[in-house]
A = this chain, B = another copy of it.
Amino acid sequence: MAERYRWLHDAISPDLIELHSIKEVIYSGRTKFQAVDVMRTGSYGLCLVLDGKIQSSEADEFVYHDALVHPAMITHPNPETVFIAGGGEGATLREVLVHRTVKKAIMVDIDQEVVEISRRYLPAWHRNSFDDPRTELHFADARKHLQHTKERFDVVVLDLPDPLEGGPAYLLFTQEFYRLVSDRLAPGGVVTVQAGAASWTNYQTFAAVNNTLKAVFPIVRASQVHIPSFTDPWGFACASHQLDPLSLSREEIDGRLAARLSRKPRSYDGESHQAMFVFPRHIRQRLAATRRVISDRKPVYTY
């Protein structure tokens, strides 16, 4: 009993709350943008918690970051320049830098304090990626940064928090923003997006993000993996003007991984790739039925 008296109440919806026992509160504070906790939970170990929601846990962050980064990187024949929007913990950067093809990785996160907290308390996430000579780190609004840059990127990774009303990210999920991203892609470029919950009972943001990407890119592929600490299965999207992640066979993927990566991903390989992009019928119907296109004037908000 004495061991389980502090609990994190993670409200998935008004009718569904997930309670995680808190073993230890390692850091707790508030940045300009959000409440930040680093805590050890009984359910998933060390966790980064933003505004009361588990953002990333040591038990399964690799599943998330593998799924976000590798399918897009592997789809590209030779990704040298990568742009990351968000990604404060440094783990997205870490997975990008595993690709030996990468010459430059620019990461732009609006919340410098989260990066500093992660640097200090979450070494297993970033593993010193911030100090890699290929890394260029900016603290700014990613949209503004992209508007003013002259650079073009082989891969753009949108590792943003869910679009919350009043939050810093909701204008990074719109058609206008995706057009800007499209303009900043080098020829043959690929964009990969964390796209929210992908559950039968909680799929609206995921479906809308995929549909909005389709308004800008001719090739858009939805994918999903299960990340226990997120409760719901989690959705991603991979978009491009030329390249299709589904065109690669298991063997080609495994070959590219072996040739290009400095270490094996824990959760991703050719078979995982295949598993990610196939959906059961009822989810496919949800996705196909969606007409919603997110725009700056009609943004989407997650609960």
**Which residues of A are in contact with B by a Cβ distance under 8 Å?**
1-11, 13-22, 24-25, 28, 34-35, 37, 41-44, 49, 51-53, 59-60, 62-63, 199-202, 225-226, 228, 231-233, 265-269, 271-272, 274-276, 278-282, 284
Contact = CB atoms under 8 A, between A and B. Distances in A.
Nearest to A225: B280
B282 A275 contact: no
Contact of A279 (B11, B18, B275, B284): B275
A175 to B, nearest CB: 28
Counting from the closest, the 4 A-B pairs by CB-CB distance are A15-B42, A5-B52, A275-B278, A272-B280
How many chain copies?
4
A200 B60 contact: yes
Contact of A21 (B15, B59, B228, B267): B15
Contacts of A44: 201
A4 B8 CA distance: 9
Which of A49, A200, A232, A276 counts the most chain B CB atoms within 10 A? A200
Contacts of A233: 226, 233
A124 to B, nearest CB: 16
A278 B282 contact: no
Given A43-B201, A267-B281, A274-B278, 19 more contacts: A1-B51, A1-B52, A2-B51, A4-B14, A6-B7, A6-B52, A7-B7, A15-B41, A16-B43, A19-B19, A24-B28, A59-B201, A60-B201, A200-B228, A226-B233, A265-B281, A267-B280, A271-B281, A275-B279
Contact of A15 (B20, B52, B53, B271): B20
A275 B51 CA distance: 34
B5 A9 contact: yes
Nearest to A52: B5
A100 B189 CA distance: 50
A199 B124 CA distance: 22
Contacts of A14: 4, 21, 42
